[in-house]
Structure 1
Amino acid sequence: MMDNVSDITMLTLSGLNGTTNYRVTLFTLTLLCYLVIWLVNGIIITTIILDKILHEPMYIFICNLCINGLYGTTGFYPKFLKDLLSSTHVISYAGCLLQGFVLLSSACADFSFLALMAYDRYVAICRPLVYHSVMTKQRVCVFVCFAWLAPLYLVFMSTVTTATRLCGSQIPKIYCVNWLISKLACTASIETIIIPAFNYTFYVAHVFFVVWTYIHIIKSCLTSTENMHQFLQTCVPHLFTLTVFAVSLLFDFLYMRIGSVQLSQSVQNYMAIEFLLFPPIINPLIYGFKLTQIRKRIKNLMCCKG
């Protein structure tokens, strides 16, 4: 057991080096963004939970997507805000593993819920006659539990294999990532390759599944005006959400894997924070404004409070 305990107990996040002159401004903007994330997601979550009319599969998945947005951003923003006001940007080894676990599991859970939402739209548009027999309350509960537990378990296994003796303490980022932690390991292990590879394959399969559902949805919409209206009303927000999330995550993933010394630290930080900034704000806004049922319920809720 002692061989798996690192002699290095503190790690340094070097992504904020060189931001001394505008830390106060950056802190103010970051705090504002974090408060907006809590506000817009909180409104959607509260509206769906309190209104029984919205206790339908699509809205339940949207509610969980917003909850996951709060879960993921909580793993980043409090520590980032603290670092902006501090002259040293360090994090304990255990804290770094925890942050990496939260951020990665949140990103994976986003994929799971977006895939579930695509399946829900597929059944609603392509197989409307069996929708209520397929998307039962019991089955929706199973889907939601799987969408939460699968990412948590897979990322937990990846994090456990990452926890090994370290021979370095510099994380060239503003937050911890399991892949960067594993690069600091004194010795490489086959588990740190196999488990992440399985996880990537598992979630790439989610992408292919979403593509498959939308091929069938679009085919169905081309032959029905009613289906086309439903597509524009419910599928367009989902596609927009999926695109924003995928592009934001892709920027960070490609930079981590490929990298570029020509990019300034500010640009690197922006690429790293994209998936923690845009999806958590845009998701609740797009669903709140685009989906008529949610928009009406939010208005009713505000009017009642007034």
Structure 2
Amino acid sequence: MNPELNTTYITLDGLLAVQKYRYVYFFPLLTVYILILCCNLIIVFLICRHKNLHEPIYVFLAALLLNAAFFSTNIYPKLLTCLFQYFLFYSLAGSEYLLLSAMAYDRCVSICRPLHYPTIMKKATVCVLLCLAWIVPACLLGVITLSSNMKICKWILNAIFWNNSHYNLHCESSGAQIILGIFAMVMIALFPVFFILFTYTRILIISYQSGREVRKKLHTHTPPMCLPHLLVLLCFTALGTYDVVFARFDVNSPKIVHLIMTLQVVLYNPLFNPIIYGFKMKEIFKRLKKLFGRT
């Protein structure tokens, strides 16, 4: 018997008329992918090169931008098998939340306990936080991915990559998979979001209780990143919520709406993070101007 007759194919049906508009999809997405890599890696290069940017907050930022570059590389090149793509996508998404949490913690210590900042945010602390940000999501998603062996009854996936929508292809749902998914979502998404909101609430309370000097420190002596940080967090959370609710529970929505929202999930943070932080953080902006020859 020809082994090709037993081969199973799953169609990714998230793109509109992909055969007709394949060049329309290809060239803009290739341009965006190159922009994402260039924008993120340039700022990472500047942080690595200049010693005055080797502070914890810039190290966390470099890790966040590298995470975004890996995040895009997982989606754009058609190189990965389905389950491995699923594992990388949600593992790196979880790392995004944990890195944002580490950055919020750094700002909280800097503002609320400035005298103890050098002893708290030591190089060892930064390394531990970075390792946890990548290892914890990878372990949780690894367990979920390895246990995903349910029988498939549908063969058309309404998505442009292997995401939560693949659960809709299974013949029946698994209680264990649902519990694991909820636990992973709480650990790598909900908990970091609440932690970040708590830290920034504490920063605001202490800054206004301590008077004008601390408020001045908040705006001048630390990178002005509170607002961009919260903006990135809220947008990423809104897009992630769409992915979980609409994809996981197969909520009916127009195909064009689903395509636009999915593209935002994989485009927004990788493309706009380096732009937002590059312009709002003065030291990086100064290095960027020097790099491109502007005085």
The one-letter amino acid paired with 1:252 is: D
TM-score for the superposition, normalised by structure 1: 0.85
Deviation at 1:134, TM superposition (A): 0.4
**Partner residue of 2:263 out of 273, 278, 302:** 273
In the alignment, the residues of structure 1 paired with residue 207 and residue 14 of structure 2 have an alpha-carbon distance, to the nearest angstrom, of 47
Deviation at 1:14, TM superposition (A): 1.2
**1:159 matched to which residue of 2?**
145
Superimposed CA distance per residue, residues 183-209 of structure 1 (whole angstroms, 9 cap, x where no aligned partner): 333454332122111111112111111
Deviates most, 125-134 or 221-230: 221-230
Partner residue, 1:284: 274
In the alignment, what sits opposite 2:290?
A: 300
Equivalences for 1:1-306 in 2 at 5 Å?
9-79=8-78, 95-177=81-163, 179-202=164-187, 203-222=189-208, 223=211, 224-230=214-220, 233-257=224-248, 259-261=250-252, 263-303=253-293
Structure 1 pair 71–174 and aligned structure 2 pair: CA distance change class (3 A): same
**Structure 1: 5+ residue stretches without partners:** 1-6, 83-93
Post-superposition offset of 1:60? 0.6
In structure 2, relative to structure 1, the CA distance for the partners of 1:109 and 1:296 (3 Å cut) is same
> How many Å separate the matches in 2 of 1:297 and 1:227?
22
C-alpha distance in structure 1 between counterparts of 2:149 and 2:66, whole Å: 28
Identical positions, percent: 34
Displaced runs of 4 or more, over 6 A = none
1:50 shift after superposition: 1.4
- Cα distance in 2 for partners of 1:243, 1:107 equals 14
Q: Which runs of 5+ in 2 are unaligned?
A: 1-5
Aligned 8 A contact 2:165 2:248 in 1: no
Mean alpha-carbon deviation: is it higher for 179-188 or for 218-227? 179-188
* Range moving further from structure 2, 295-304 or 105-114: 295-304
* Contact 1:48–1:59 (Cα < 8 Å) also in 2: yes
**CA separation of 1:73 and 1:155: change in aligned 2, threshold 3 A:** same
Q: 2-side partners of 1:252 and 1:185: how far apart?
A: 18
- Aligned with 1:16: secondary structure? coil
Distance in 1, Cα, partners of 2:223 & 2:49: 26
Shift of 1:17: 4.5
Deviations 1:1-26 (A, max 9, x none): xxxxxx86432111125344433222
The amino acid that maps onto 2:159 is K
